[in-house]
């Protein structure tokens, strides 16, 4: 398991609180934002049985992933950095 990441400096915090510093806090805030936006209504209640015999659902969630270099370049330029 990878060590949790921590924010060193925000370039753009979107709808998150700028004081947020930990991965757990970021994901917790994202969960609250998704709940407030009624994200569960985007796909509705989904449950299906697949050909492997297992049941599956569809969820809308936030994940943290490494940023694409072009996205970084464009956003840094946009913010004058």
* Whole-prediction pTM: 0.79
Do residues 26 and 20 make contact, with C-beta atoms less than 8 angstroms apart? yes
In the prediction, which pLDDT does 1 show?
62
Total count of domains within the chain: 1
pLDDT tens for 1-48 read 688 999 999 999 999 999 999 999 999 999 999 999 999 899 999 999
Do residues 4 and 23 make contact, with C-beta atoms less than 8 angstroms apart? yes
- The pLDDT-based confidence of 81 (bands split at 50, 70, 90) is confident
What DSSP string describes 5-43?
Answer: PB-S--S--TTS-TT--BHHHHHHHHHHHHHHTTTHHHH
Q: Which domain holds residue 29?
A: 1-81
């Amino acid at each position: 398991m990878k060590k949790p990441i921590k924010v060193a400096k925000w370039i753009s915090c979107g709808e998150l609180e700028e004081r947020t510093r930990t991965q757990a806090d970021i994901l917790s805030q994202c969960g609250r934002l998704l709940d407030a936006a009624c994200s569960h209504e985007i796909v509705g209640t989904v449950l299906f049985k697949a050909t492997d015999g297992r049941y599956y659902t569809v969820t809308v969630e936030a994940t943290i992933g490494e940023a694409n270099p072009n996205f970084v370049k464009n956003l840094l330029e946009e913010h004058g950095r």
